[in-house]
Amino acid sequence: MRIATYNIWNHDTLWQKRIDAICQEVKRINADVIALQEVRSYEKGSVAHDIAEATGYPYCVFHAYPDSPDEGLAFLSKVPFSSVEAIWEEDVEESNFCATRVTLIFGGQEWGLTNVHLNWRSSSIRECQMEVVRDWLSKGHQKAIEVLCGDFNDHPQSTIYDDVSDAGWLDVTTFVGEEARPTLDVKHNPYLQSSHLEQPERYDWILFRSEWSELEVQHVDVFGDMRTSRDVVPSDHYGVVVDFTVK
């Protein structure tokens, strides 16, 4: 099972060129499921549906934020969804409109995948959001394999990271025996030259929990970190992709 997460940057800068470049990268990594953040919506759809059509993904689900309907979260998938939901369908405060979830069956196993985009302005808001997300997930029927991914807008030395780790979530990068690469790269990404960041950071994560000891992480990488044939870097974030194997 190949899973990816990608913040595609809802910004007008080189928009059409970047969407073409994003499609190139989505095709290249060839994930079974990809979670997208900062997905622009239109009157009759979203850019996620455009990407799905251009890249051959048969299943696409998009949820616009109720408080900001010009943007939202999406999943593209090669396999059908068993269920889809958004955290704002629950009784949560507007500041916690930050996550969507799908379930599906792959390799004979039930998978639950949660896509988050946390607040970039405030660590205290992010901490509250993650607490609400964890409560939301605990209320539902947990699948044999659970994946939590997205743009957490924080680094692995943060309280957010410690909290999810203490809750049993495992970072896929800790299984590959090499240093995890940054996803916000102020040294090489041309869109981040005026960023407030002082050094490259890893803000985009893929974590998992599983009752199956046979689940293995085979490979983890970043993507979208190079100029494509359109001569643009696709986004201000790099994406993360992981290969899982169930023995």
CB 96, CB 128: distance < 8 Å: yes
What mean pLDDT is predicted for residues 173-193? 91
Alpha carbon dihedral 157, 163, 164, 166, in 10-degree steps, equals: 110
Contact indicator for 47, 64 with CB cutoff of 8 Å:
no
Per-residue pLDDT tens for 142-152?
Answer: 898 999 999 99
* Residue 42 exposed, middle or buried by CB count within 10 Å (0-12, 13-18, 19+): exposed
The boundaries of the domain holding residue 233 are 2-246
pLDDT in tens, 93-107: 999 999 999 999 998
Looking at residue 229, what is its pLDDT?
Answer: 83
Any idea what the CATH number is for the domain that residue 178 is in? Answer: 3.60.10.10
Measure CA of the first residue to CA of the last residue in the chain; give whole Å: 12
Provide the number of structural domains found in the chain: 1
| Residue burial 160-173, b: 16+ Cβ < 10 Å; e: rest | bbeebeeeebbbbb
pLDDT at 196: 77
- Over pLDDT 70: what percentage of the chain? 99
